[in-house]
Amino acid sequence: MAQHDLQQREVVIIGAGPSGSIAGALLKRKGHEVLILERQRFPRFSIGESLLSHCLDFIEEAGMLEAVQAHGFQTKHGAAFGWGERYTEFDFRDKFTEGHGSTYQVQRADFDKLLADQAALQGVEIRYEEEIIAADFSGSSPRLQVRRSDGSEYSVECAFVLDASGYGRVLPRLLDLEAPSSFPVRRAVFTHIQDNIDDPQFDRNKILITTHPEMRDVWYWTIPFSNGRCSLGVVARAERYEDRPLDLDTCLKEFVSEAPNLRRILKNAEWDTPARLIGGYSANVKSLHGPGFALLGNAAEFLDPVFSSGVTIAMRSSSMAAATLHRQLSGETVDWETEFAIPLKRGVDTFRTYVEGWYDCSFQDVIYYEHAQPEIRRMISSILAGYAWDENNPYVAESRRRLRVLAELCRSNG
C-alpha cells in the first residue's frame, strides 16, 4: 500500500453507537485525538430501546445529558411485569443504590444519532460508511485497513483501538476471539406499532415485560415511546417457533393473542410496520482486551434482552475503558485485566444471575411474589435499574446465593 494511504490517529474507535460515542467523548474531554469509524449511515434502526437508569450516569459523564433531556424521549420510571392476571411493578426512583431514578425509552435511530452528534460537537471525528476489513496488531502500533463506501481503501495507525461495533463484533471476528455463549439459542420477533392504548392500567412511564401464561420461558416486551408508538416483541427458544406461522407478522400476532393482558392493552393497535427477526444474539469472547485493543459492550458479550442490560453494559464498559486508556496514554502502566475486564465482568455476571433466574423461573417467582419486603424490593429495583456493580447491595455481592434463598422463600410462602 502506498505510504500516502496511511493515516495516523491516537485512538480509533470502531462503531458510533452509544458505547463508541460515549467512549469517544470521554477521551476527547481528556485531551486525546479520537477517530470513530462507523460502517453505516446514521440514523439507522437498532434494537435495545429501553434504557436503564444507570445509563444516564455515563451520558452525564460524557457531557450529553442536557441534550438527551431536551430531546423529548419517553420518560421511564421503572419496569412492570404481567403474567396472566398478575401484575407488579418496580419504580427505579425507589431503589437501594444512589444514582439516577428516571431514565428514557428511546427509538434508537434518533438516540444513537443524538449521542454521535454530541460527540462530534465535542470535537470527535466521525466517519460514516467506512468499514474495517482487516486489523493488524502484530507491530509496534495497531493498524486497521478501512474501506470507504466508494470502494477505495486506506490504513490508519494508532496507539489503541476500542471496538464498539456491537452486533458487528468486528475485532472478535477478525482476531478469532469469538466464544460460544452459555445461553440457548433464542429468537426475538418484534415490530413497532401505533399502539392506541387507552387501558388505565398501562403506564407509559414503564417498560412492560409479560410472561406467557403457560410457557414461562417465553416473554414479551412492550416499550412505549413518546410519539404514541411502541416497540413490541416476543422472545422464545428456537423450538418454540417450530409450529408457528412462517410469516413474522402473523407469528407475532398469534403469540400476543395468547397473553390476556397484551390482548386487552393492544386491542386498538395499528400494526403498520413489518415484523423483524433477530436470533442467536447471545455472544461471548475469549478475552475483553489484547495488546493495543479492548472490546466494549455487545462487541464483547451480549447476554439477553430481558432486562435491557445491553446498553448499560456498553456504556459502563466505555467509561471504564476510557479511564484506563487515558492513564495508559498518559504514560502510566495499566493492567487491563484487573482494571477493566474483571470489574466489568462482575456486573455482567450479576445480570447473568438474574437472566438465568428469569428463564429457570426462580427470579420470576421473586418478581411475582405478592408479599415482598420493601427493602428487598428496593435492592431488586436497583439491579433492574442497572446498578449491578454496587457491591453494597447484598443481591449484587452474593447474587446467586441470595436469589436462590429468596426464590425458595417466595415459593414456600406463595
The Cα-based distances of 383 to 212, 323, 336, 373, 387 in angstroms read: 23, 24, 25, 16, 5
Which amino acid appears at position 44 of this protein?
A: R
What structural domains and CATH numbers belong to the chain?
3-49+107-180+283-346 (3.50.50.60), 186-279 (3.30.9.100), 356-413 (no CATH)
How far apart CA 269 and CA 68 sit, in angstroms, is 28
**Which residues of 72-225 form beta strands (DSSP E)?**
74-76, 78-83, 86-91, 103-105, 125-128, 130-136, 143-148, 153-157, 160-163, 178-179, 186-194, 206-211, 219-224
For each of the chain's 414 residues, which pLDDT tens digit applies? 344 599 999 999 999 999 999 999 999 999 999 999 999 999 998 888 999 999 999 999 999 999 999 999 999 999 999 999 899 999 999 999 999 999 999 999 999 999 999 999 999 999 999 999 999 999 999 999 999 999 999 999 999 999 999 888 899 999 999 888 888 889 999 999 999 999 998 999 999 999 999 999 999 999 999 999 999 999 999 999 999 999 999 999 999 999 999 999 999 999 999 999 988 777 788 899 999 999 998 777 777 888 899 999 999 999 999 999 999 999 999 999 999 999 999 999 999 999 999 999 999 999 999 998 999 999 999 999 999 999 999 999 999 999 999 999 999 886
What pLDDT is recorded for position 2? 41
What pLDDT is recorded for position 3? 45
How far apart CA 60 and CA 65 sit, in angstroms, is 5
Q: What is the value of pTM for the model shown?
A: 0.95
Closest CA to 117 of 13, 226, 24, 7: 24
How far apart CA 160 and CA 13 sit, in angstroms, is 9
What pLDDT is recorded for position 180? 81
Identify the H or E element spanning 381: helix 374-384
Query: Pairing relation of β-strands 11-14 and 34-38?
Result: parallel
What pLDDT is recorded for position 4? 56
